[in-house]
């Protein structure tokens, strides 16, 4: 790879100095780079105009920035790579202090490309345009109360959960909210999805690992104190819709994928040990 686009989190690089330094570093290693308008978190998804010949987009920020930027760029088909300016940075390929070494490996083609699955959702048959790279979460919208959810896989009931909600996670998302809720760590090459209950008020509830070819349906059931808006659906942390009793949310794998650049010298298990 020789031609790069750089996009940064505006909050973490407000004056663009870090992005410019990275562009200069790429130039020193024999590549070329240009910087586009920064990502502003908490706003609607924007469009990034890539110049012809761009071979990779480098996203500067934490995991949240990477998720947002990767999905903005997904339609281009150009691989993306993250350099961490945040805290955990599990999805990113390198820390900023190691950027010089990372750039050297990129321009010398010492990397691997991982294909990341995406999830799409629909409510009562109406599909959302926002795709999930990490997870889809159906969670209670009220304060300090339980919700009841009926979870089915391919039309067959898997379980009824009473608790704070349920997480549908990809392998990438298995190390996020799902892990915090007691879900398993899933290797990135696995073709699976994880269904993880959140704070279930039941002794038998455990996560399920299913095929990513399966279709999951979550129905909001009536509770002892039903409200007009019983639950909410969030996609990679962004709230996309409210749910009432009787609403059904369907989650399935999308046809689209995201190509993510990772460095060869750092394996998935190195990241697990180092970050978690």
Alpha-carbon distance 23 to 106, whole Å? 13
The verdict on whether 63 is a catalytic residue reads yes
For tokens 């009536």, name the residue.
Answer: 222
| Active-site residue (options: 63, 135, 159, 236) | 63
For tokens 């009926």, name the residue.
Answer: 150
Q: How many CB atoms lie within 10 A of CB 248?
A: 15
Beta strand pairing status for 32-35 and 231-235? unpaired
Run of H or E residues at 196: strand 192-198
Alpha-carbon distance 179 to 173, whole Å? 8
Torsions phi, psi of 19, nearest 5?
-60, -40
- Six token digits for residue 225: 């104190």
**Would you name the residues annotated as active-site residues?**
63
């Amino acid at each position: 790879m020789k031609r790069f686009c750089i996009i940064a989190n505006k909050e973490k690089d407000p004056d663009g100095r870090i992005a410019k330094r990275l562009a200069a570093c790429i130039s020193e290693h024999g590549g070329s780079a240009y910087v586009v308008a920064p990502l502003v978190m908490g706003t609607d998804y924007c469009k990034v105009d890539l110049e012809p010949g761009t071979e990779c987009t480098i996203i500067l920020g934490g995991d949240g920035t990477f998720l947002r930027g990767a999905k903005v760029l997904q339609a281009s088909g150009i691989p993306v790579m993250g350099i961490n300016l945040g805290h955990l940075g599990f999805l990113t390929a390198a820390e900023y202090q190691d950027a010089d070494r990372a750039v050297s490996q990129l321009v010398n083609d010492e990397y691997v490309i991982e294909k990341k699955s995406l999830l799409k959702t629909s409510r009562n048959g109406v599909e959302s345009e926002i795709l999930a790279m990490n997870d889809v979460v159906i969670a209670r919208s009220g304060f300090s109360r339980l919700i009841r959810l009926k979870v089915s896989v391919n039309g067959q009931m898997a379980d009824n959960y009473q608790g704070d909600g349920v997480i549908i996670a990809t392998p990438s998302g298995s190390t996020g909210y799902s892990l915090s809720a007691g879900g398993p760590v899933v290797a990135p090459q696995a073709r699976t999805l994880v269904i993880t209950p959140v704070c279930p008020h039941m002794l038998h509830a455990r996560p399920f690992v299913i095929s990513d070819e399966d279709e999951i349906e979550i129905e909001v059931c009536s509770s002892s104190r039903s409200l007009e808006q019983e639950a909410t659906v969030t996609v990679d942390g962004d709230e996309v819709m409210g749910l009432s009793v009787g609403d059904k949310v369907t989650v399935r794998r999308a046809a689209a994928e995201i190509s993510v650049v990772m460095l060869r010298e750092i394996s998935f298990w190195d990241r697990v040990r180092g970050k978690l």
